[in-house]
Amino acid sequence: MGNTRAKKYAPILWFLLGLFCLQVLGQLLVAIFEVSLLPPMEQWYDAVMPYPVLVALQAVIIVIFVRICTTFAKGRVIPRRTLGLRLLGYGSLYFTAMVIRYAIRMSLYPNERWFGGSIPIFFHWVLAAFLLVVGYYHWRNSEQQITKTSQLSSVQVWKKRIIKGTIYLAMLVVLLAWITYQLFPSVLAYHLRMRPAQYAVRYDKSVAFTAPDGIKLVSDIYRPQRIQKTPTILIRIPYNKNMQARLFSNMIGRLWAERGYTVVIQGTRGRYESEGRHVPFQKEREDGIATLHWIANQAWYDGKIGMWGGSYFGYTQWVIADQVNPGLSALFIQVASTNFYEMFYPGGAFSFESALFWAARSYSDKDTPPALEELKRAYKELPLIEADDRIVGDVDFYNSWVTHNQKDEFWKNVDGENRTSTLKAPVLLLAGWFDPFLPTQLNDYQTIKSDASSEIAAGTKLIVGPWAHAKTVTLPEGFESRNYRFESLAPSLDWFDTHLKNRPIKKGMAPVRIFVMGRNEWRNEMEWPLARTIYTPFYLKSHGQANTRTGNGLLTLDSSTHSANTDTFMYDPQNPVPSLGGTMLGPRAGTVTQNTVEDRADVLVYTSPILKEDVEATGDIRLILYVSTTAPNTDFTAKLVDVHPNGDAYNVSEGILRQGYQASDWPVKIEVNLWPTSIVFLKGHRIRLEVSSSNYPRFDRNPNTGGIIFRETKTVKTIQTVHHGPESPSALILPIIPK
């Protein structure tokens, strides 16, 4: 009886197998023989795996299904209820997933309705139906399999239930994760207020071309379907192709491709899947130019290329920003600048924590951020040149950064010359108040406005937010703005639509958009620096005891009561003032309380009276000091601090100056440039200035010997004196914005 029933199912199974074979045949005819009467390849093939692998898998499926159909036709199938239940479960889940996939595709992509690009989905339905038919036969035609309770212990019964439940739960979780994966770009676009998706996306994985020196550069390409030529968005990514990087590239690749862009995400040399060895700044210009020419030869290239990315991604943009035919039509550069030298050597001191974090992360092919405890081991000892050896081994590019402490040929090769004036496309600059690139990035904006062509200068925009280096910062009292990753994507589509698609935008972007801390609100401006700025001196004053926050150091607007005096402290390089927050690369960047630092005797603290009204400071900050020292070469550091009514003091801005000094009885006038900022010191708060000679490891420590700092193993204590009064008018110059 069972044999007869099995034979009745055979025609249905042969029919389903025939449909599947027709699909495979049609795919082969298009892929190999380029038959034009059939739909194009992108409608037969969804690029989940390389096509040769897919063909091999399809052949295996056909062989298995032929054997199953033959067995049914001969009536040699013994029905098994358990097998039937499993096949029905798996087949139902498979069929449901494909129905959901079809519904998502039809709802998201108007150009695909109602059958566009759905051939693979239809034949997944065929495969699912095959499983369901086989499963139904086994379930319907087998006798009820009853296991006597007495034959199984309660533990065994529960064990079977738990296993089954776990399997079904895992299947449900996988299905939900897959649905989330499919919908995430659209959900993200909705959250970022981008226009809806238009196109289904084809994903071409690991597409390579050979650079002029023989190295293969590998890209993942996301292309909108049903459109022949599109603008291109290029990202040259310096990360490993790990799960996090793959998810990142997949999400943003689909995000832009669904809206009409071809997205090329390429590994820089030695990264992602590209060949070669990763050495920061080397070969990026040559590889970038070669990539532009490769893109220009692709069938989908429409003549326009934009680039996106921050930090090292930003550097890969700047090095080819002068190119034409092919060149760039728009850049979106975040937390990076044309001047890496001044990021590494602000005020002449070395950005030690940033450099070591970068070197420890990028020295190998793993690109793994170092743990904070690892970094701390390197901070404890001298010399500076061997800091990398203490945690990861000798890193040649770290050695180069340390030893080239002047703007020599090494840095000229890194930074190029006048990249802002040779810029050939408008750029959107995204900066952060707690980012180490901030001063140089703001200078880029100013020089573009003054030196670039009028069209490019007019099109260039600036956004400055409450971020560290590609990191969201928690501001005082727990305030946290929208995640930095979202903010770096939010303006991108409008920006590229404007410059790559010439699409009119409903609401234009302001020339400058800044986040004003204190009030914690965004504000549009017409220029940077703000034209209405009043640079206001806050004079230093004390009775000679400004050491620690409990001393008598004052910041005052009144120069008439500015009596002559000095404040003195001893700077010991073996016991430097620790960095708490600040503008460095790595996890410690941002704003945190400075109270413990201000309790040190080697920190001079000058504090304003309690503010009777809000005071806004937006722009560049300078500190003019009259100093004397017993060292032939030493540092003076400055930190602007916002003191809350409860006494908590939060860092706002910082700076340093390193230089040599001649022995003299007269004080020397110096100027320390602090990080630009935008903050409202609220009514009831106080403005505070910290002065010292170290901020470590944000900056390397000066050993005070006058020798070669990066090789020095010995240190000397020195007496530092800050003078203030009518003859030595030390003052903090704040960019006050009138109401």
Beta bridge partners of 232: 262, 305
Does any domain span residue 159? no
28 and 103 in a single domain? The answer is yes
Half-sphere exposure in the Cβ direction for 132 (13 Å, CA): 13
461 and 491 in a single domain? The answer is yes
Whether the predicted pLDDT of 157 surpasses 80: no
Cα–Cα nearest to 236, from 279, 291, 281: 291
617 and 660 in a single domain? The answer is yes
Mutual orientation of helices 81-108 and 154-191 as an angle, nearest 10°?
A: 10
Give the count of beta carbons closer than 10 Å to the beta carbon of residue 447.
18
The letter for the amino acid at 319 is V
pLDDT at 284: 97
pLDDT at 144: 58
Half-sphere exposure in the Cβ direction for 481 (13 Å, CA): 25
Active-site residue identified among 138, 278, 469, 685? 469
pLDDT digits (tens, 9 = 90+) for 696-727: 999 999 999 999 999 999 999 999 999 999 99
CA distance 309 to 312: 8
Q: Where is the domain boundary, 104, 125, 146?
A: 146
- pTM of the predicted model as reported, rounded to 2 decimal places: 0.91
Instruction: Please say if 107 is a catalytic residue.
Output: no
pLDDT at 506: 65
The letter for the amino acid at 179 is I
315 and 460 in a single domain? The answer is yes
Active-site residue identified among 287, 367, 388, 435? 435
Handedness of CA 497, 486, 331, 306 (dihedral sign): negative
Q: Tell me whether strands 615-629 and 731-737 are parallel, antiparallel or unpaired.
A: antiparallel
Contacts for 172-179: CB closer than 8 Å, 24+ residues apart? 175/93, 175/96, 175/97, 175/100, 178/97, 179/100, 179/104
Whether the predicted pLDDT of 354 surpasses 80: yes
Whether residue 326 has a cis bond before it, omega within 30° of 0 = yes
Handedness of CA 21, 24, 29, 32 (dihedral sign): negative
Does any domain span residue 75? yes
- Percentage of the chain beyond pLDDT 90 is 80
Q: Where is the domain boundary, 146, 161, 193?
A: 146
DSSP at 609: P
The residue-averaged pLDDT of 5-16 equals 94
CA distance 708 to 347: 17
Q: Tell me whether strands 427-432 and 201-210 are parallel, antiparallel or unpaired.
A: unpaired
User: Between 26 and 152, where is the model more confident?
Assistant: 26
The residue-averaged pLDDT of 653-661 equals 98
- Structural domain boundaries enclosing 670: 534-737
Whether residue 511 has a cis bond before it, omega within 30° of 0 = no
Strand, helix or coil at 60? helix
Which CATH number goes with the domain that contains 712?
A: 2.60.120.260
Whether the predicted pLDDT of 147 surpasses 50: no
Helix or strand (DSSP H, E) at 29: helix 2-33
Strands (E), 396-533: 427-432, 461-465, 467-468, 471-472, 512-516, 521-525
Binning pLDDT at 50, 70 and 90, where does residue 146 land? very low
Whether the predicted pLDDT of 136 surpasses 90: yes
pLDDT digits (tens, 9 = 90+) for 562-607: 677 999 999 999 999 999 999 999 999 999 999 999 999 999 999 9
pLDDT digits (tens, 9 = 90+) for 638-655: 999 999 999 999 999 999
Query: Please, which residues have CB within 8 angstroms of residue 669's CB and are 6 or more apart in sequence?
Result: 624, 625, 626, 728
Lowest-confidence range among 312-316, 371-375, 538-542, 616-620? Answer: 371-375
Cα–Cα nearest to 658, from 671, 646, 676, 645: 671
CA distance from start to end of the chain? 94
Q: Where is the domain boundary, 119, 146, 173?
A: 146
Does any domain span residue 16? yes
DSSP at 199: -
86 and 136 in a single domain? The answer is yes
pLDDT digits (tens, 9 = 90+) for 458-488: 999 999 999 999 999 999 989 998 999 999 9
Query: Please, which residues have CB within 8 angstroms of residue 227's CB and are 6 or more apart in sequence?
Result: 199, 260
What rounded mean pLDDT belongs to the chain? 93
Residue whose structure tokens are 């006798």 = 143
Binning pLDDT at 50, 70 and 90, where does residue 152 land? low
The letter for the amino acid at 3 is N
pLDDT digits (tens, 9 = 90+) for 60-76: 999 999 999 999 999 99
Which CATH number goes with the domain that contains 302?
A: 3.40.50.1820
Active-site residue identified among 219, 311, 488, 653? 311
Does any domain span residue 547? yes
Instruction: Please say if 435 is a catalytic residue.
Output: yes
Lowest-confidence range among 31-45, 83-97, 423-437? Answer: 31-45
Ramachandran assignment for 144, one of left (phi > 0), alpha (psi -120 to 50 degrees), beta (any other): beta
Residue whose structure tokens are 């889940």 = 93
Give the count of beta carbons closer than 10 Å to the beta carbon of residue 564.
12
Longest dimension (CA), the chain: 115
Does any domain span residue 165? no
User: Between 611 and 141, where is the model more confident?
Assistant: 611
Alpha helix (H) ranges present in 231-272?
243-257
366 and 434 in a single domain? The answer is no
Beta bridge partners of 465: 432
Instruction: Please say if 685 is a catalytic residue.
Output: no
Whether residue 573 has a cis bond before it, omega within 30° of 0 = no
pLDDT at 150: 52
The residue-averaged pLDDT of 113-131 equals 90
Does any domain span residue 171? no
732 and 605 in a single domain? The answer is yes
Q: What's the Cα-to-Cα distance from 469 to each of 372, 458, 643, rounded to whole Å?
A: 16, 27, 24
CA distance 313 to 303: 22
CA distance 334 to 331: 10
pLDDT digits (tens, 9 = 90+) for 170-179: 888 888 888 8
- Percentage of the chain beyond pLDDT 70 is 98
443 and 585 in a single domain? The answer is no
Strand, helix or coil at 182? helix
Ramachandran assignment for 239, one of left (phi > 0), alpha (psi -120 to 50 degrees), beta (any other): beta
Alpha helix (H) ranges present in 524-571?
none
The residue-averaged pLDDT of 395-419 equals 96
489 and 581 in a single domain? The answer is no
Strand, helix or coil at 694? coil
Residue whose structure tokens are 């209820």 = 81
Helix or strand (DSSP H, E) at 733: strand 731-737
Contact 238, 312 (CB under 8 A): yes
User: Between 117 and 432, where is the model more confident?
Assistant: 432
pLDDT at 161: 79
364 and 306 in a single domain? The answer is no
The letter for the amino acid at 269 is R
Q: How many domains does the chain have?
A: 4
DSSP at 644: P
The letter for the amino acid at 20 is F
Dihedral Cα 383, 387, 390, 391, nearest 10 deg: 170
pLDDT at 347: 98
540 and 670 in a single domain? The answer is yes
542 and 639 in a single domain? The answer is yes
The letter for the amino acid at 518 is G
Does any domain span residue 377? yes
Does any domain span residue 161? no
Whether the predicted pLDDT of 261 surpasses 50: yes
